[in-house]
Amino acid sequence: MPPRTLFEKIWQAHVVAAPEGRSALLYIDLHLVHEVTSPQAFDGLRANGRPVRQPLRTVATVDHNIPTTPRGLPITDPIAAKQIEALQKNCREFGVPLFDIDSAEQGIVHVIGPELGITLPGMTIVCGDSHTSTHGAFGSLAFGIGTSEVEHVLATQCLPQRKPKTMKIRVSGKLAEGVTSKDLALGIIGRIGTDGATGYVIEYAGDGVRELSMEARMTLCNMSIEAGARAGLIAPDETTFAYVNGRRFAPKGKEWEAALAYWRTLASDPGAEFDRVIEIDAASLAPFVTWGTNPGMVVPVTARVPEFKSFAQEADRRAAEQALAYMGLNPGTLIETIAVDRVFIGSCTNSRIEDLRAAARVAKGQHVNPRVRAMVVPGSQAIKREAEEEGLHRIFLDAGFEWRESGCSMCLGMNPDILQPGERCASTSNRNFEGRQGRGGRTHLVSPMMAAAAAIAGHFTDIRNWKYE
């Protein structure tokens, strides 16, 4: 057999049928479901009299539109409440396990899959959410789908798929102190653009990736979609196995040993060919800050907002003009002089325990600038409990950050956590699109440490110069 990529191995292991003249039919090991992209899919099942084929390969939670205020309070948005009730009813009717709003396991769908040991290496994983690419950090093929495809997977546990191309991003060297995998992701997107990986599955490889913790790998894979990629994945290794081992739904005993033996085969073979290869020197990267209205509009914190004449393409120059008009910024402005009104630490990109520890290290003994409102939203109830056991919430609260309940929150502002028109936010989320965090809101994407530092300084500042207590 010719040498195969990791992607190819997972793909081949899941092809149920390859009918002549049609796309291959791929088996889906795990289908994650949330309240926003599923109600119409369940309606479709009902209309056609179809059951959920594999309820135990389906896991649901509520995350997108739930409030992050204390759990006992009522949901004040009646339409959001109706959507949550629809998921509860659908899960009951179709026998799908649901980690509901009052559950100790509730959290952002891409946070709880890994932390419960439901996400495992070698799996195919889908969810009606583009950031499903997060799970690729475990060496699984994980991608976002639309609601029609959600219905398709609920009904058949399969998905017809055109085979994507493969891209290898080889990261050499080590990220400097204060530079995180969020900065690595933003650096990659800044280089290849928001459509640089459209049609591709990315494999992140190289010693710069091996060095990363699972949390950092999840952040990197999470942002793959922001480069347009179908999925992003990392071959599992000892770091992966140590993370998975002992988690609640992970294999145990003899099954663990068997799984481990299989997972160790999940790496691209030497000599395996990729359609495209990109080299990144991790040591050369600085902390990044986006200046525009997509994640590719990004510069190092030490840089300035680009001049219009720096864009070679007319369409890109016009896009930059529109972006800066929306963002209320001028070309040539030093990033470190940009003041922020709001800070959001959270989202499926950066709400895990390691992210909170990093932000807390920056915040310890400091005070949020009086002009800034800053909130920390843990990715899950489990992370919230863990952080509280470590006393991180005390550090945040003492510094003047809000400490909230888990959910997607201000990443997409479907719940009451939104920016007001014109407000400028340093956000650890994944999208700085116009209006994403609230109509007229201005989002700058950064790492958790950079966000915490901006909250305290009141403007962006290079975390590499931070004086820790």
Partner 1 sequence: MQPFRKHTGVLVPLDKVNVDTDQIIPKQFLKRIERTGFGEFLFYDWRFSGDKKNGDFVLDAPRYARASILVAGKNFGCGSSREHAVWALADFGFRVIIASSFADIFANNSLKNGLLTVRLSEEQAAEIMRLSKEIESYQLTVDLEALRVEDGQGFAATFAMDEFSRRCLLNGLDDIGLTLEHEAQIAAYEAEHPVRAEMKTILMR
- Considering only residues 244 through 273, tell me which ones interact with partner 1, judged by CB under 8 A: 248-252, 255
CA–CA distances in Å: residue 408 to residues 41, 237, 378, 413: 21, 29, 9, 8
The single-letter code of the amino acid at 21 is G
Nearer to partner 1, 89 or 367 (CB): 89
Nearer to partner 1, 419 or 454 (CB): 419
- Indicate whether 198 belongs to the interface with partner 1 (CB under 8 A): yes
DSSP assignment, residue 315? Answer: H
Which residues are within 8 A (CB) of 17 and not within 5 positions of it... i.e. 6 or more apart?
Answer: 24, 25
Using CB under 8 A, which residues numbered 86 to 115 contact partner 1?
A: 86, 95, 97
Nearer to partner 1, 37 or 427 (CB): 37
Q: Which of 371, 385, 439, 465 binds partner 1 (CB under 8 A)?
A: 439
Using CB under 8 A, which residues numbered 287 to 306 contact partner 1?
A: 294
* Shortest distance in whole angstroms from residue 128 CB to partner 1: 6
Q: Is 44 helix (H, G, I), strand (E, B) or coil?
A: helix
Using CB under 8 A, which residues numbered 362 to 401 contact partner 1?
A: none
Q: Which stretch binds partner 1 (CB under 8 A): 327-335, 346-354, 431-439, 453-461?
A: 431-439
Instruction: Give me the helices (H) in 250-294, please.
Output: 253-263
Q: Which of 69, 160, 264, 331 binds partner 1 (CB under 8 A)?
A: 160
Distance CA 411, CA 428 (A): 8
* Shortest distance in whole angstroms from residue 176 CB to partner 1: 30
Using CB under 8 A, which residues numbered 64 to 83 contact partner 1?
A: 64-65, 77, 79-80, 82-83
* Shortest distance in whole angstroms from residue 462 CB to partner 1: 28
What is the phi-psi region of residue 82: left when phi exceeds 0, alpha when psi lies from -120 to 50, beta otherwise? alpha
Q: Are 229 and 200 in contact (CB under 8 A)?
A: yes
* Shortest distance in whole angstroms from residue 228 CB to partner 1: 6
Using CB under 8 A, which residues numbered 3 to 32 contact partner 1?
A: 16-17, 19, 21-23, 25, 27, 29
Distance CA 124, CA 12 (A): 11
Distance CA 361, CA 167 (A): 36
- Indicate whether 46 belongs to the interface with partner 1 (CB under 8 A): no
Give the closest residue to 424 by CA, choosing from 368, 340, 323.
Answer: 340
* Shortest distance in whole angstroms from residue 385 CB to partner 1: 17
